[in-house]
Amino acid sequence: MAKDGPNWDGLLKWSIANSDGTRSTRNLSEEDKRWFMEAMQSQTVDVIKRMKEITMVMQTPEQVLEAQGVTAADIEDMLDELQEHVESIDMANDLHSIGGLVPLLGYLKNSHANIRAKAAEVVSTIVQNNPRSQQLVMEANGLEPLLSNFASDPDVTVRTKALGAISCGYNCCSIVYFLILNFTLIRHNKPGIAAFRLANGYAALRDAVGADSARFQRKALNLIQYLLHENHSDCNVVNELGLPRVMLHLASSEDAEVREAALRGLLELARDKTGGSNGGLGEDDEKLKQILEERIKGISLMSPEDLGAAREERQLVDCLWSTCYKEPSSLREKGLLSLPGEDDPPPDVASKHFEPPLRGWAANHTGDSKPSVKKQEAPLLLGPIPPN
């Protein structure tokens, strides 16, 4: 490869000269073969080799890199490249084999906030949909710095990225769709949940829901709801930490997604059978009723467009009211729970073009409601009866 990039012009001229169709094929000389292979190999990246090089940089002490002119921005770019490589599950698992996972987790404690955040983002990619790497991160004590950053890092981006690695965004990938669930350090990982509890994770979540960042609040509330759904005994811990009152406050947030996340968590508490007649909400019942009434009033004043966007909130408010007070909310009486057309099935636009063979066969054989059955007549016997 040349300094300024590959010699595409030379490769193109060579290709045209050797494949213009005006002459018969010929055997390439050894020199031509060598030139062609060098040109092609210059465009091929040996991912494992490159990951080993990145690992070597990550293993180098920070002060040594700084002395050699390597900046924090350079490290961020390098981690960006590593993240692309480990999007493959095989490459993610190979990172541990070549010794790169431990130094990557070490970057979670780097003095530069941007590097700490980027390292957590790479960890999120590694553990996503990858139980093997989840276990490797656990065995390398990767959960500890993630919890530490999530709980107490002064940079909100670092805290957010750390929470994303713990729950892998939890609601997951908005690029593909929104509701693709991923395996992460917490999700469907009992050792990870146990470690989260032992590390006083709920106390950190209490601080997180009180943050100024709506995105950070939403992630924390989603994680609370998931944990309560998986284990209702955690409702006692949540109540002791005073989280229901914080969630009640956030149920009136100006951010619609924060409101919905708070209502989902409150619904899990209300469904807790150990918390008395109103579930795990206890003495906060009156405050809850007041907030739900305010939300019903707010929903009643919404425009048709806003009502459509608030479909989940409408259902959560009604479900929470029904769970706590054993009666439907006034949203039903006002016709606001289910708007016209919301529950209609989507139009069938595919069956005409992609009719299954069995359906087509059945359609061709059901035209006659009374299929004719031809009665078999007894055979006519001619001649004398044969002797026994």
DSSP codes, 61-74 = -HHHHHHTT--HHH
Delimit the domains of the chain by residue range.
Answer: 45-173
DSSP character for 378?
P
Domain 45-173 has CATH 1.25.10.10: yes
Kindly report the average pLDDT of the chain as a whole number: 77
> What pLDDT was estimated at residue 148?
78
Dihedral angle computed from the Cα positions of residues 43, 47, 52 and 56, in that order, rounded to the nearest 10 degrees? 60
* Weakest-pLDDT range from 155-164, 210-219, 300-309: 210-219
Identify the top-confidence range among 224-233, 255-264, 299-308: 255-264
Q: Do 265 and 221 meet the contact criterion of CB atoms below 8 Å apart?
A: yes
Kindly state the percentage of the chain with pLDDT values over 90: 34
> What pLDDT was estimated at residue 272?
82
C-alpha to C-alpha distance for 220 and 204, rounded to whole angstroms: 9
Give pLDDT tens digits for 70-129.
999 999 999 999 999 999 999 999 999 999 999 999 999 999 999 999 999 999 999 888
> What pLDDT was estimated at residue 181?
30
Q: Would the pLDDT of 313 be above 80? A: yes
CA 58 → CA 55, 105, 128, 145, 266, distances in Å? 5, 10, 22, 17, 43
At residue 23, what is the residue type? R
pLDDT, mean of residues 181-203: 61
Identify the top-confidence range among 23-32, 106-115, 305-314: 106-115
